Chain A
Amino acid sequence: MKESYSLTLDVKRYDPDTRISWMQTYRIEAGRILRFTDVLRKINKELDPTLAWNSSCEHAQCGSCSVVINGRPMLACELLVENAVTHFGTTTFTIEPITVAPVLRDLMVDLEKAYDRVHRIRPFIIRPAQNPNQGQEYRISPRVMEGYLEATRCINCFCCATACISSHKGFLGPNAVMASLVRIMDPREDATADRLKQLYSEEGVYRCHSSMACSHVCPKEIDVAHFVALVKEGDFR
């Protein structure tokens, strides 16, 4: 374990003005416990203020900073320098944007377009079920909630969708399928049949090839593939 590391970052750049992409190499010193978002910031400060990269919370809650590092989609804010060196066994890292949406500049992609698939599954209660306790909260047993609570932790970082081996155009995607399943299992949602129709349609779960890459890369450690499998099995209440 060292106090700091000399890193080599090969970053995929893109200029929307010239429409040219290229790989640019940055060499920088980084303390062991810095996050990769800290490292990118350090590059802006010391080497290149034009390098564009997205982030917001920088502690794995918002899902803004997803990138592909040495081939693996992840949150840049979650990767500590010393963990990166240990895990990848190198101090050289290739950093590229995620593939789920068009690149705007460098590592920034048009996440709004990626969210289209999530919006299509309607991430809200489409038709509220009858509430026997009008004016109060629905009563929901914690046992029932346990069936889907993990899936509610999804932050739509699109790491799973990036890792997914199915096409982004033809498939709703693992995170969108999971979001719809949450509402299917939620007793407050009445439009279960509508949702299932969508999930069993051309863009639904038949596109999933069970690679389970989604579960493998999820930064929140949600077993996304499990929820997709539940839809395939038709087993959710």
Chain B
Amino acid sequence: MPTHLANEATLVAQAQAGDAAAFSTLVEQYDRYIYRLALNITGNKEDAEDVLQESLLKAYTKLGQFQGGSRFCTWLVRIAVNEALMRLRKRSPQKEVSLDEPVEGNERSLMPREIEDWADNPEQQYAKVELNKILDETIAKLEPNFRTVFVLRDVENLSTEETAQILGLSVPAVKSRLLRARLKARELLGEYFKKGKTVGL
């Protein structure tokens, strides 16, 4: 997520007073981040587009409820995450996605199996579009409970506290899931980035 906009408070106040242009200016800063977030959580372009539209429209409708106690982007992300999780639940009702369910694995499952060093600046071996594809596919392979935490913390750069607040989780629960997510993402990326990996051109 981009850092706090200098004129954000003014734009929010103008938008709350019914200035549609101010609202458009505000969301233009975040729309591609919200789309990426939705795509990463749902893993589906159609759902991501629906989430983007719905969450921005909802944000506009509920703008009066935004108190300014948190950053505007955190408030917007919370709406988008709820929309995205709702889509996931709709799509797989038999496999209910609950962020509350415990995800403790055993200690042994935490220990990395792949221990191989990476090439220097491995991401530079790939073109931007290809790198984005690798990163997206890696996220899609994470379990939903780990994925959402990883996306908020390490992709959108929100704090542990903000992530906990948005997901309604405790800080220790966020940290525990983040650790597992990071280890899994590391293992998956190792396939592309390890030393001696030949990248087809």
Partners in one complex: no
